[in-house]
A = this chain, B = another copy of it.
């Protein structure tokens, strides 16, 4: 394992620990099952790239601080809630996620809906508490607000609605681009921008961070489309060819395997190039991360 892999692994462990700390800690009541379901889905694997990005971006401008922890946890909770709801029978109807039964397969549809709701709600609860506890003022509020916008109808919910609406239909690049940007890229963009907001950065800096996030987010989703055709089921933890099965038009349908790979490479190069505008002694991990994405197989 190389240095980057080691750091990645360690970061993931740290974030998993944080996630546990910030889950609801109630020890009484008649609702333990929903906390079990929240915990199950939150800890069922996951690359944790969103909180990792947030932390690294913050580190470009400021020394380490406990004050960003609630935001790292919140973005991962929002990501997990969206997966739990997307997997539901009424939505994508998926039985497996990261090699494990999806939340509704394990706890039933009703508890899965409520566990998703509770993760979304908890994300805001801990950010609000964090803003107060660490007296973050507008820097914290802008970060939380950025997550809200990117999680909402202008972000992942909008993307999922479009995805459902155009399922079974032949669609053009405009629609696919919209779905990819909203469904996948929005939260990765949020991770970049939240790190900047928490560090009190200007609109101009936030704009550059947003651009890096969008390049990575789009590249990531196109890779997902590619892996759904060329990937290894065991590594992915889910069946391949699901887009074909669900009659979903993907990037690969419109641009081909090779064409899509070129687009991914271009997007990641663009991300690296914008990243160069920041202090190069502090961007090592993010650069390694982008290079690591170039080779992503799961």
Contact = CB atoms under 8 A, between A and B. Distances in A.
B85 A151 contact: no
Interface stretch (A106-114, A220-228, A290-298): A106-114
B131 A113 contact: no
A133 B118 CA distance: 27
Nearest to A129: B145
Interface string A115-159: 011101110110011011000011001101100110111100111
Interface stretch (A24-32, A57-65, A258-266): A24-32
Given A30-B175, A142-B132, A152 B24 contact: yes
**How many copies of this protein are present in the complex?**
2
A184 interface: no
Given A144-B128, A153-B24, A162 B121 contact: no
A110 B158 CA distance: 13
Nearest to A164: B110
Interface SS of chain A: helix
Nearest to A145: B128
A88 to B, nearest CB: 7
A29 B88 contact: no
Interface residues of A, number: 57
B111 A164 contact: yes
A141 B131 contact: yes
B31 A165 contact: yes
Given A145-B132, A148-B128, A34 B90 contact: no
A107 to B, nearest CB: 10
A88 B132 CA distance: 36
A165 B165 CA distance: 33
Given A24-B152, A30-B166, A158-B31, A91 B111 contact: no
A35 interface: yes
A117 B120 contact: yes
Nearest to A23: B153
A77 to B, nearest CB: 12
A33 interface: yes
Interface string A1-44: 00000000000000000000000101001110111001000000
B125 A145 contact: yes
A57 B124 CA distance: 24
A160 interface: yes
Given A30-B162, A85-B113, 11 more contacts: A24-B152, A29-B153, A30-B158, A35-B153, A85-B117, A111-B164, A117-B157, A118-B153, A122-B153, A124-B124, A132-B138
Shortest beta-carbon contacts, A-B, top 10: A125-B148, A90-B109, A30-B162, A31-B161, A31-B158, A124-B124, A128-B145, A34-B161, A90-B110, A121-B152
13 contacts: A26-B153, A30-B166, A31-B157, A31-B159, A31-B162, A34-B157, A34-B161, A91-B113, A114-B161, A121-B151, A124-B144, A128-B144, A129-B145
